[in-house]
Amino acid sequence: MSKVQSQRTRPSHVSRALAADRLGIPAVLFFVLAGVAPLTVAAGVIPTAYQTTGLTGIPAAFIAVALILAIFAVGYVAMTRHITNSGAFYAFISKGLGRVAGVAAALMALLSYSCLQVGLYGAFGPGAAAEAQAHLGLHAAWWVWALGAWALIAVLGLLRVDITGWVLGVLLTAEILVILAETVSGLVHAPGGHIGFGTLSPADLTSAGLGTFGVLAVVAVLGFVGFEQAPVLAEEARNARRTIPLATYLALGVIAVVYAGASWAMAVHAGQSHVVAVAAKEGPGLLFGLGGGFLSATAQLLFLTSLFAAALAFHNVVWRYMYALGRENVLPAALGRTGANNIPKTASLVQSATGLVVICAYAVAGWQPMSQLFFWLGTTGGFGILVLLALTAVAVLAFFGRDSHGEGAWCRLIAPALAAILLTLIVVLAVLNYPTLLGVGKGDPAAWEFPASYAVVGIVGLGWGVLLKLRRPEVYATIGLGAHAATGQLASAVDEVRR
Amino acid sequence: MARLTGTGLVADDLYLMSHHEVTGRPYLHHRAIGVGLAGALLAELVLAGSIRIWPEGVAPAGRSLPAGELARSVLALVVSERRRVPDWLAFLARSAERDVARRLEHEKYLTLAGSRRPWRTGRWVPVDPDCAFAPLFRAQAALDPGKPVTVAGATLAGLATACGLGSRLLPYGPKGARRWLDETVRQLAPDLRELIAQTQAATDSLLLSQRV
């Protein structure tokens, strides 16, 4: 009897072949981390955040945000099992809060990822200019180097994705090793051998009031951008129920440990009371100074490649979003068409054009690249991701509120509700304390213009969503389907004929 | 011997369209070509009246057996167990490019050229560039309202666009070719339309999950 049963339950030749071609946990984890570009955060975001915000609770913020995102991920990955086009925030929001809200979320996501991508030129330009001046004796303005990187990314964005994926993989491994080495070196060579834990204390999260946490959380969430991409591989995963959640939690853990460790080591090495001043003076050198000569030189070189890799990764994220929306006809259909090698050239070129316009605008206006381009646009992108995370948490609640889909109370109700409350609180605190986040005075227009841009885009998206619902119901029916837009459009057309 | 009229099989024409007519180099990522050819192999069975395609899966349509060893082996496979179309596309895509190339080699449309580098495998190269280019004209008819189009030609054009060959095909059509192609595909039988839509969805899925 057992023999008969084993024959019946044995997977078929087709099942075995399909399973062998699917991705396991290491592959999904690697995919997620490859888009994170750790040195960009460790050497770029963290020192600039210490300097701009004047707050020291950054290490604790990475741990706190990792815990909040872990709670968020419970409902997020649970919903992944029941929808198509998972991995894109707007797909979750379309399913949970309706397609009109989905269109608004899609445009907000485009703005967020675009800010994150374009902002990176503001760190690459000055970094490359300084390196070229120090080692090659070349003198050129930051924007010349930024334009060089932009041109290369514009070309690579039109090439095959597997080439860039391989390059990103090598860089990721080297970056994590260098950050860990810098961290260990910084802690081993702490001044006077004293290792303080103050910056890891939860008390530091609210050192200047509750609003401090909102500012720190926006900075910390920048480090985690990319973790939300794991569900995009749900259909390619060997066992989506196990592979996607595990890869998501592992990615959160790795990112939290690496960034909290690095930012803590910087504070220990410079001294908690001096870290803000040292960051203002040394910038990325705050991290590079933790290690010796060779390690420091390697880190400086990798910082540039990391910025470049991050800009390329976000460039690819933006065109994928545009492509999915073009396929659904939410954005012009030209964005959803591919050229040779299956690359959506129009979508890629549109993002390249955006980068060119922003770099030229900053160069002509003479605005500061590191703080006003890299940090301001970067944190604004991070803020947008926070808004989307909060909306997604509410969408998960609404989705499971209509039908439990067999999920337990923790996955469908408790964790999403907790995540929605915490993330909404962070968004509110961040809006109220945006001047601190940007390091500007309370009356500075930038402090309301940047967060308000999401409100404007959101309202435009809502309006567009309503128009699609009224004027183009066949397009409206496929919002949020992404790769499955083709089958959705067909089903919609068949329904129309039947009516 | 290669002829300008081709073998009359959709997958053979799609293979030739997705590779350069002289060098044999692919125009698309191999995974995308595999998905397109998998769709084309299933389309051959639909056109032969051997299977029906539904949104839920594939079902045998009658007793008619398709011609050719490859088509018969695909038929035996897809009727052997019940699966969704995306599963069959993913499974067949793994070996479709090689299988169709061998069929074309057997029909004398392709020849396997060795590589000068010993660590690289050879590449299938068209025997006659004119014959290799001809499928583009067969698909082109689906882009032009002034030309008569066959069901196989419309299916070929639909599958070619679905797997990413639109930028290769559409420049050969008149103004408004894309709209006319959509209209032509809309007039195909429901199972062929379903197959083209599923092939498009599978290709988009590969693209959005960074696998092409």
- Interface probe for A, chosen from B210, B211, B212 (most Cβ of A below 10 Å), is B210
Hey, are the CB atoms on A338 and B166 less than 8 Å from each other? yes
3-class SS of residue A137: coil
* Cβ contacts of A338 on chain B, cutoff 8 Å: 164, 166-167, 207
Residue A491: per-residue pLDDT: 67
Res B63: pLDDT: 67
Which of A73, A104, A74, A79 is closest to A90 using CA atoms? A104
Q: How far is B115 from chain A (nearest CA, A)?
A: 22
Query: What tokens does A300 get?
Result: 């400086």
User: Residues B28, A338: contact at Cβ < 8 Å?
Assistant: no
Which of A324, A341, A482 lies closest to B29 in CB terms?
Answer: A341
Token pair listed for A469: 């619902």
- The answer to whether residue B103 is domain-embedded is yes
Closest CA to A313 of B206, B29, B210, B203: B210
Confidence of residue A242 (pLDDT cuts 50, 70, 90): confident
Measured distance CA(A377)–CA(A146) in Å, rounded: 15
pLDDT of residue A209: 86
| Within a domain: B4 | no
Q: What is the DSSP string of A63-114?
A: HHHHHHHHHHHHHHHHHHTT-SSTT-HHHHHHHHH-HHHHHHHHHHHHHHHH
d(CA B73, CA B88): 13
Q: What is the mean pLDDT of chain B?
A: 91
Q: Kindly report, residue by residue over A139-178, the tens digit of the pLDDT.
A: 999 999 999 999 999 998 887 544 456 666 788 889 999 9
Q: What angle do CA B62, B64, B65 make, to 5 degrees?
A: 125
For B1-58, write each residue's pLDDT tens digit. Answer: 678 888 989 999 999 999 999 999 999 999 999 999 999 999 999 999 999 998 788 9
**Kind of pairing between the strands at B110-113 and B123-126:** antiparallel
Q: A interface toward B at CB cutoff 8 Å?
A: 12, 14, 17-18, 21, 31, 85, 87, 160-162, 165, 232-233, 235-236, 316, 320, 323-324, 327, 337-342, 344, 482-487, 489-491, 493-494
Contact A441, A108 (CB under 8 A): no
Contacts of A166 (CB under 8 A, 6+ apart): none
CB contact set of A178 (below 8 Å; sequence gap of 6+) = A39, A295, A298, A299, A302
B162 shares contact with chain A (CB less than 8 Å): yes
CA distances from A471 to A101, A322, A467, A475, B181 (A): 17, 22, 6, 9, 24
**Residue A111 and residue A114: Cα distance in Å, rounded?**
5
Query: Does B203 sit within 8 Å of A235, measured CB to CB?
Result: no
Measured between CB atoms, which of B164, B193, B198 is closest to A342?
B164
Closest residue to B194, CB basis, from A14, A320, A490: A490
- Count of beta carbons in the 10 Å neighbourhood of residue A136: 8
A113-122, B55-64, B146-155, B179-188: range with lowest mean pLDDT: B55-64
Residue A209, beta-bridge partner list: A207
Q: What is the pLDDT of residue A238?
A: 77
* Domain membership flag for residue B5: no
Identify all chain A residues contacting B191, using CB atoms and an 8 Å cutoff.
none
Q: Are A484 and A85 in contact (CB under 8 A)?
A: yes
Q: Give the residue numbers spanning the domain of B99.
A: 10-211
Q: pLDDT of A429-476, one tens digit each?
A: 999 999 999 989 888 999 999 999 999 999 999 999 999 999 999 899
Closest to A184 in 3D by CA, of B160, A192, A176: A176
Considering only CB atoms, B28 lies closest to which of A162, A327, A342, namely A342
A160, HSE (Cβ side, Cα atoms, 13 Å): 13
Q: Give how far Cα A87 sits from Cα of A34, A166, A244, A344, B205, Å.
A: 16, 21, 11, 19, 12
Stretch (H or E) spanning A454: helix A446-471
Tell me the nearest-neighbour CA distance from B1 into chain A, angstroms: 30
Q: Using CB atoms, which residue from B91, B94, B209 is nearest to A236?
A: B209
Cβ atoms of residues A84 and A347 within 8 Å: no
Q: For residue B82, what is the nearest residue in chain A, using CA coordinates?
A: A14
For residue A336, give how far its alpha carbon lies from the nearest alpha carbon of chain B (Å). 10
In eight-state DSSP terms, residue A433 is T
Residue A235 to residue B205, Cβ atoms within 8 A: yes
Instruction: Please compute, for residue A358, the number of CA atoms within 13 A of its CA located in the half-sphere on the CB side.
Output: 25
C-alpha span between A35 and A38 (Å, rounded): 9
A211-221 per-position pLDDT tens digit: 899 999 999 99
Number of H helices, E strands in chain B: 9, 4
Sign of the C-alpha dihedral, residues A454, A480, B159, A474? negative
Mutate to test the interface with A, among B78, B191, B209, B212 (most CBs of A within 10 A): B209
Work out the angle at residue A162's Cα, subtended by the Cα atoms of residues A159 and A167, and round it to the nearest 5 degrees: 95
Confidence of residue A6 (pLDDT cuts 50, 70, 90): very low
pTM: predicted TM-score of the whole model, two decimal places: 0.88
Looking from the CA of A475 toward its CB, the CA atoms found within 13 Å total 22
Q: Which of B28, B91, B94 sits opposite A341 (nearest CB)?
A: B28
Angle at A462 between CA A461 and CA A467, to 5 degrees: 95
Cβ contact, residue pair B28, A161, below 8 Å:
no
A182 membership: H or E segment, kind and range: helix A161-188
- Half-sphere exposure in the Cβ direction for A175 (13 Å, CA): 31
Instruction: Return d(Cα A304, Cα A328) in angstroms, integer.
Output: 36
In a domain, B44, yes or no: yes
Closest of A340, A317, A15 to residue B33, by C-alpha: A340
In a domain, B101, yes or no: yes
pLDDT of A381 over the 70 cut = yes
Q: Do A323 and B83 count as a contact with CB atoms less than 8 A apart?
A: no
Query: B208–A320: do the CB atoms touch at under 8 Å?
Result: yes
Q: How confident is the model at residue B122 (pLDDT cuts 50, 70, 90)?
A: confident
A2, pLDDT greater than 60 = no
Q: Does B179 touch chain A (CB under 8 A)?
A: no
Count of CA atoms in the C-beta half-sphere (13 A) of A382:
31
Shortest Cα–Cα distance, B60 to chain A (Å): 18
Contact B127, B108 (CB under 8 A): yes
Complex-level ipTM: 0.86
Structure tokens at A239: 């066992």
Q: Are strands B57-60 and B110-113 parallel, antiparallel or unpaired?
A: unpaired
Indicate whether B140 belongs to any domain: yes
* Strand, coil or helix: A23: strand
- Check if B123 contacts A (Cβ < 8 Å): no
Beta bridge partners of B124: B112
Amino acid at B38: A
SS3 B53: strand
Reported as a single tens digit per residue, the pLDDT across A21-64 is 777 888 888 878 876 788 999 999 999 999 999 999 999 999 99
- Paired tokens of A115: 């800010």
Contacts of A342 in chain B (CB under 8 A): 28-29, 32, 164, 203, 206-207, 212
Residue B114: band (very low, low, confident or very high) from pLDDT cuts 50, 70, 90? confident
Q: How far apart are the first and last CA of chain A?
A: 52
CB–CB contact B208 A494 (8 Å): no
Q: Torsion over CA of B153, B155, B161 and B162, rounded to 10 degrees?
A: -170
Cα B134 versus chain centre, distance:
14
Residue B192 lies in a domain: yes
CATH code assigned at B57: 1.10.3630.10
Q: Among B81, B204, B212, which would you mutate to test the A interface (most chain A Cβ atoms within 10 Å of its Cβ)?
A: B204
Hey, which residues does B54 pair with through a beta bridge? B57
Confidence of residue A4 (pLDDT cuts 50, 70, 90): very low
Task: Give the nearest chain A residue to B32 (CA atoms).
Answer: A342
CA distance B37 to B200: 12
Instruction: For residue B70, tell me if it sits in a domain.
Output: yes
Residues in B touching A18 (Cβ below 8 Å): 87, 90-91
Distance of CA B116 to the CA centre of its chain: 30
Count of structural domains within chain B: 1
Residue B136 has pLDDT above 70, yes or no: yes
CB contact (8 A) between residue A342 and residue B203? yes
Cβ–Cβ contacts within 10 Å for residue A273, how many?
11
Both tokens assigned to A103 = 């269109």
Identify which of B131, B150, B98 has the alpha carbon closest to the alpha carbon of residue B17. B131
Give residue-wise pLDDT tens across range A295-318: 999 999 999 988 988 898 889 889
Give the nearest chain B residue to A486 (CA atoms).
B197
* Residue pair B178/B190 in contact by the 8 Å Cβ criterion: no
Tell me which chain A residues have a C-beta less than 8 angstroms from the C-beta of B206. Answer: 342
Q: For residue A323, give the chain B residue with the closest CA.
A: B208
How far off is chain B from A61, nearest CA to CA, in Å?
31
Average the pLDDT over A225-253 and give the result.
85
One-letter amino acid at A439 equals G
Whether the CB of B170 is below 8 Å from some CB of chain A: the reply is no
A-facing residues of B in 18-77 (CB < 8 A) are: 27-29, 32, 55, 77
Q: Which residue has the higher pLDDT, A376 or A4?
A: A376
The predicted model gives B99-126 an average pLDDT of 88
Task: Tell if the CB–CB gap between A342 and B205 is shorter than 8 Å.
Answer: no
Phi-psi region of A192 (alpha: psi -120 to 50; beta: other; left: phi over 0): left
